[in-house]
A = this chain, B = another copy of it.
Amino acid sequence: MSAIDDAARELSRLPGIGPKTASRLVHHLMKGPAEDGLRLGRAIAALVERVRPCAQCGNFGEEEVCQVCRDQERDPSVLCVVEGAFEVASIEATGQYRGRFHVLGGRLSPLDGVGPEDLSVERLLERIRTAEGGIAEVILATSPSVEGEATAVYLESVIRPLGPRVTRLARGIPMGSDLEYVDGSTIVEALAGRREM
């Protein structure tokens, strides 16, 4: 197989990149300086060679324990539970969260045969039980879908007996959106969660 076809095939394995986009990217790389493509190739190789899940929270990092878990400035008594490491990155990008994380590795989905034993639920409970100084609050930040919701309900039922406050992210109208384009169930949640001004 030619280098062109091979690169296009590998790129089109990425999510959201079809054969046409892959071909366009390949042509972009061929047109540009070779050094750009070499740097991209090296960066991807270094990524998958060096990055690994954090032994504590499951977030991606380059050390045994990730940057967030190593950061002594952060509040170790607050855990934010997310489905994947991508959500850690989204929350970290805001720069407003000062607690730690726990990455579940998915959400409960009985139809796909994903039960609590397929997620890092046991590790989460273990962390709560053994945390030095204790865990004061667990914020459930699973996705606002039926399955994410079910996962949150299940987690609440197993975490609360251990002591911590269990909260979840607020539902409501997203900032900058037009009410006209917000779906009905979001408006219902926003009404139910309305706050004094």
Residue numbers of A with Cβ under 8 A of B are 2-4, 6-7, 9-11, 13-16, 21, 23-31, 34, 36-51, 60-62, 67, 84-86, 89
Contact = CB atoms under 8 A, between A and B. Distances in A.
Contact of A46 (B3, B21, B39, B62): B3
> Ordered nearest first, which 7 A-B pairs have the shortest CB separation?
A37-B48, A41-B45, A41-B44, A7-B47, A34-B48, A10-B43, A27-B86
A146 to B, nearest CB: 22
A29 B47 contact: yes
A137 B26 CA distance: 30
A7 B89 contact: no
Contact of A43 (B3, B15, B47): B3
Contacts of A3: 43, 46-47, 49-51, 62
A32 to B, nearest CB: 8
Nearest to A86: B27
Contacts of A29: 14, 44, 47-48
B27 A13 contact: no
Nearest to A20: B90
21 contacts: A2-B61, A2-B67, A3-B43, A3-B46, A3-B47, A7-B44, A9-B43, A10-B39, A11-B40, A13-B40, A15-B24, A15-B28, A23-B86, A23-B89, A27-B84, A27-B86, A36-B48, A37-B44, A37-B48, A38-B45, A41-B44
Given A21-B16, A60-B30, A4 B37 contact: no
A42 B45 contact: yes
Contacts of A37: 44-45, 47-48
